[in-house]
Amino acid sequence: MWGVYLVGIIAVLAAVGVVAARQPVHSAISLILNILALALLYLMLSAEFLAAAQVIVYAGAIMVLFLFVVTLLTAGKEEQEAPEILSGQRWWAGGLSVAIGLVLVLILAQTPSSGLGPAGPVGTLNALGAALWGRGFPYLLAVAMMLLTAALGVLVLNRPERPSRSSEPGSER
Amino acid sequence: MTATTWTVAVAVAIFAVGAIGVLTRRNPLIMFMAAEMMWNAAALAFVAFARQHHALSGQVMAFLIIATAAAEVGIGLALIVSVYHRRHRLNIDEISRLKG
């Protein structure tokens, strides 16, 4: 039980670090810490396969992609935030976000929660696969189509602007 | 406080902090990472409730969230890189006028 408390506090602190960091690289590193803490929480909540998928997909693939883009776009630059166009937008936005959090906390306080009770179904690969290929099959199909569409979308977004220009990476500079 | 309540409270906190990041930061990369955190918070709440109600469907939803986030990262980073190639500045206000 103390582990759940400790890992939760680490996750929230890392989340604050993501938002408060000045450099995007520091944000990315805090996000990796947040993701690893969440993977630990998944393990404690008997979601074994999800913990592994979180580490492999998020901390592995997605964060490597993030770090790659961050180093590509902000290498050797001092990042300063531009002056605001809308005055006071930050304060309004921060207040609204805190209000969202308060509403969620109110909902949480009214939700009845029994104890954990006996160990439920463990989210092993077998159990999750049976659920996905059984009742969750439409979701699986939808996600497959969505991933295909995303791959196509990335290709369309990064196609060369004019046919005369070569599409080799780095040739535009 | 039970483990479910604590975990959902952690998810709520991460969601609210992510919302603050999306709404107040100007760097599109940091905004995007904060949005990723909001996805993660939703997935954490799903897993916590799946544990409490002894139902595996919550974990299925969390799995779908991870897959959706992967697709979103691909598209979003492609958008950020392509905007950066045109404007050469990392500022979200550059995208407010989406014209060439």
ipTM here: 0.91
- Please tell me the predicted confidence (pLDDT) of residue B33: 93
With contact defined as beta carbons under 8 Å apart, do B11 and B45 qualify? yes
CA distance A136 to chain B (A): 7
- Kindly tell me if the per-residue pLDDT of A16 is higher than 50: yes
- Please tell me the predicted confidence (pLDDT) of residue A173: 43
Place of tokens 């979308």: A153
Q: Whole-model pTM?
A: 0.86
With contact defined as beta carbons under 8 Å apart, do A7 and A44 qualify? yes
A·B CB contacts under 8 A: 232
CB contact under 8 A, A117 and B54: yes
Please name the member of B27, B53, B66 whose beta carbon is closest to the beta carbon of A24. Answer: B27
Nearest to B79 by CA among B9, A17, B87: B87
Nearest to B13 by CA among A38, A1, A24, A66: A38
Interchain CB contact of A100 with B (< 8 Å): yes
Nearest to A33 by CA among A49, A17, A20, A45: A17
Q: What does the CA dihedral A7, A42, B35, A137 come to, rounded to 10 degrees?
A: 180
CA distance A45 to chain B (A): 6
In the predicted model, what is the mean pLDDT of residues A11-29?
A: 92
- Please tell me the predicted confidence (pLDDT) of residue A40: 93
- Please tell me the predicted confidence (pLDDT) of residue A77: 67
Encode chain B (100 residues) as per-residue pLDDT tens digits: 677 888 888 999 999 999 999 988 888 899 999 999 999 999 999 998 888 888 888 889 999 999 999 999 999 999 888 888 877 777 777 777 766 5
Nearest to A103 by CA among B19, B73, B30: B19
| Most B-contacting residue of A33, A35, A38 (CB-CB within 10 A), to test interface | A38
Cα A112–Cα B53–Cα A117 angle in degrees, nearest 5: 85
Interchain CB contact of A75 with B (< 8 Å): no
Interchain CB contact of A157 with B (< 8 Å): yes
pLDDT band at A172; cut points 50, 70, 90: very low
pLDDT band at A169; cut points 50, 70, 90: low
Please name the member of A31, A85, A96 whose beta carbon is closest to the beta carbon of B93. Answer: A85
Please name the member of B6, B24, B70 whose beta carbon is closest to the beta carbon of A8. Answer: B6
Residue environment code for A65-77, b if the CB has 16+ CB neighbours within 10 A, otherwise e:
ebbebbeebbeee
Alpha helices in A75-170 (DSSP H): 89-110, 125-133, 137-157
Q: What is the per-residue DSSP string for A67-100?
A: HHHHHHHHTT----PPPPSSTTHHHHHHHHHHHH
CB contact under 8 A, A34 and B78: no
CB contact under 8 A, A65 and B77: yes
| Most B-contacting residue of A23, A35, A58, A71 (CB-CB within 10 A), to test interface | A58
Find the helix or strand (DSSP H, E) in which A48 lies: helix A48-53
Interchain CB contact of B59 with A (< 8 Å): yes
- Please tell me the predicted confidence (pLDDT) of residue A81: 61
- Please tell me the predicted confidence (pLDDT) of residue B49: 87
> A36-91: per-residue pLDDT in tens?
999 999 998 888 899 999 999 988 889 999 999 988 888 766 656 666 667 777 88
**Count of Cβ atoms closer than 10 Å to residue A133 Cβ:** 10
Interchain CB contact of B48 with A (< 8 Å): yes
> A129-167: per-residue pLDDT in tens?
888 888 889 999 999 999 999 999 999 888 877 665 455
- Please tell me the predicted confidence (pLDDT) of residue A164: 52
Burial class (CB in 10 A: 0-12, 13-18, 19+), A167: exposed
> B19-44: per-residue pLDDT in tens?
999 988 888 899 999 999 999 999 99
In the predicted model, what is the mean pLDDT of residues A23-37?
A: 92
